[in-house]
Amino acid sequence: MRRLKISLHTPSAEIEGRHFVMAFTFAIVLMVTDHYTQLADTLRNTLLNILQPVEYLATLPSVLYETFEKTGTDQITLQKQNAALKAENLILQAKLQKMTELQQENRRLRLLLDASGQLPSDRMELIIATVLRASNRPDSEFLMLNKGALDGITPDMPVLDAKGVLGLITHVSELTSKARLLTDPELEIPVRFERTGLRALTRGLGHGRLEVDFVRVGTDVRPGDLLVTSGLGGVYPVGYPVARITSIEHKPQATFLTLTAMPISQLYNNHEVLIVRHGTPGS
């Protein structure tokens, strides 16, 4: 039995030895051949060319996943950046709008201050008020202002804008006041023709128009004549613009002309107005 085991083991060892010698010899031959002929390079390049598509297909899922993941990330990033830019744009637009509004307000206030130069400031105090509401109903034309009794406002104070007379304070509460416009049928203003000095009286007709009363037929009156406050009655400051004559009509057998005029002031387009409070010199 021991001899049989030895006889079975010996041929296998010899075969393995032969295989090792053959493999070693083949390796030596390949090394020598590659050194002198670069045959291995040719085989290697051939194998690489054959295996390259296989390698590409093997890595394709990974490449596609990374591409889609990057695309999704880039899209989310772009969406966030776009949202941030929109928000920033809205903020800039709001700031620009506010700046424009402030510039317009400064311009309006400058016009009011320039207009106040026409008034005898040593005997009058000028109060700037903001218009809260305007009514242009023919039978009731008025402005609601944000100044009231707590600001020293009382009835019968004149209201002006940068261009001309607006009206008169008629009602006052603690915080607000109501100014009847000069075009209201209930309001009359003593005026004079700047060109001739003739005195008259304006009365509201509604719809932004005035009627000029007590101008006799034959009087020197022309379309475009400027009417200014006469100062009679001591309510309105003297010489402030009121209206311009727009039409002249002479009715048969009438003693007075029928004159219509358009106010100089902006009536319904003011944001700020001037309230005139009378005082005494040095007060």
Domain annotation covers residue 113:
no
Domain annotation covers residue 109:
no
In a shared domain, residues 127 and 240: yes
End residue of a domain, out of 37, 60, 83: 60
In a shared domain, residues 50 and 125: no
Low-confidence ranges of the chain (pLDDT < 70): 1-16, 26, 30, 32-44, 47-48, 51-52, 54-57, 60, 63, 65, 68-69, 72, 90, 93-123, 279-283
Which two structure tokens, joined as six digits, stand for 37?
């002929």
What confidence tens digit (pLDDT) does each residue in 79-127 have?
Answer: 888 878 777 776 776 666 656 655 666 666 666 666 655 665 556 788 8
In a shared domain, residues 152 and 270: yes
- Tokens 């051949």 found at: 33
Look at residue 165 in the predicted model and tell me its pLDDT.
93
CB count, 10 Å around CB of 20?
A: 10
Look at residue 226 in the predicted model and tell me its pLDDT.
96
Look at residue 35 in the predicted model and tell me its pLDDT.
62
Helices 2-37, 39-116: inter-axial angle, 10-degree rounding: 60
Domain annotation covers residue 88:
no
In a shared domain, residues 267 and 153: yes
Domain annotation covers residue 112:
no
Domain annotation covers residue 148:
yes
In a shared domain, residues 259 and 127: yes
Domain annotation covers residue 225:
yes
Domain annotation covers residue 193:
yes
Task: Please provide the DSSP assignment of 14-50 as one string.
Answer: HHHHHHHHHHHHHHHHHHHHHHHH-HHHHHHHHHHHH
How far is it, in rounded angstroms, from Cα 138 to Cα 152? 30
How far is it, in rounded angstroms, from Cα 188 to Cα 242? 11
Look at residue 103 in the predicted model and tell me its pLDDT.
64
Query: How many separate domains does the chain show?
Result: 2
Residue 21 lies in domain? 2-60
In a shared domain, residues 265 and 139: yes
Domain annotation covers residue 69:
no
- CATH number of the domain that residue 186 is part of: 2.40.10.340
Torsion angle of C-alpha atoms 27, 33, 39, 44, degrees rounded to 10: 20
How far is it, in rounded angstroms, from Cα 131 to Cα 178? 10
Look at residue 123 in the predicted model and tell me its pLDDT.
65
End residue of a domain, out of 12, 39, 60: 60
Sign of CA dihedral 134, 140, 144, 145: positive
In a shared domain, residues 224 and 141: yes
